[in-house]
Amino acid sequence: MDHPELLVVGRVERPHGVAGEVSVSIRTNFPDRFVAGAAFIWQNGDAKRVLRVTTARPHLGRMLLRFEGVGDVSAARSLAGGDLSIESSEARPAPPGFFYEHEVVGWACEDRDGRRLGEVTALERAPGAPLLSVETQPGKVALVPFVHGIVVSVDREGRRIVLDPPEGLLDLADG
C-alpha cells in the first residue's frame, strides 16, 4: 500500500500560555495555510495524528495555533518537537520559475555538454539565494547557488538541471 509523501510546513516549538495554544515555526512559503479549520498531520518519531486548527494568529515571526482536543498546557507540551505536515498532493502549484524542494530532490545535474555532475539531495534556504545540495560522488556534497548564470536551465519533465558552475565550485564538496 502506497503512503503519500508528506511535506513539512511547520514545527511545534512549545506551549504558549496555559490554554493549549502552541508556538509553531513556519517551514513553508505559504504561511496563510495556517488558518482555523486547516488540518495537519502531526508527527514526532513514530507518533502520528491528525490535528485540526481551531484558532491561528501570527506572533513574532511564528504562528500561535490552537488545535481541537488540545485544551491545556500539558496537552500542548506533548506536541512540542513534532512536525506539522501536509500530503504532497495538497501542495500549491509552484509559481513560474519557482521549485519546491520535494520536486527537485533526486534530479540529475548536468553541465552544458550533458555530462553528469551529480544529483540534487536538498534545496536549502540561504540569505542570498536558495542552494542546491548536489551529491557529486558518494558522500561528497557541493552547495550550488540556485541562481541564473549558474543554473542554465531546469527541465521539470526530464527531472534535470543544467549547471554552469564557476571553476572549482564543485570541488568544494564536503564529505
pLDDT tens readout for residues 36-59? 999 999 999 999 999 999 999 999
- pLDDT, mean of residues 106-126: 93
Is the pLDDT confidence value at 173 over 80? Answer: no
9 backbone dihedrals φ, ψ, rounded to 5°: -115, -10
Distances (CA, A) of 134 to 22, 121, 141, 149, 161: 36, 6, 5, 17, 11
Instruction: Give the closest residue to 80 by CA, choosing from 25, 34, 22.
Output: 22
Is the pLDDT confidence value at 3 over 70? Answer: no
Is the pLDDT confidence value at 143 over 70? Answer: yes
Task: Give the lowest-confidence range in 91-100, 134-143, 158-167.
Answer: 91-100
Contact 117, 110 (CB under 8 A): yes
- pLDDT, mean of residues 145-161: 93
* The pLDDT value given to residue 4: 64
Is the pLDDT confidence value at 64 over 90? Answer: yes
Is the pLDDT confidence value at 101 over 90? Answer: no
The pLDDT-based confidence of 1 (bands split at 50, 70, 90) is: very low
Global pTM reads: 0.65
Is the pLDDT confidence value at 67 over 50? Answer: yes
* The pLDDT value given to residue 174: 67
Greatest alpha-carbon span in the chain: 61
* The pLDDT value given to residue 10: 94
Domains in the chain (CATH in brackets) are 6-89 (2.40.30.60), 101-172 (2.30.30.240)
Q: 3-class DSSP state for residue 37?
A: coil
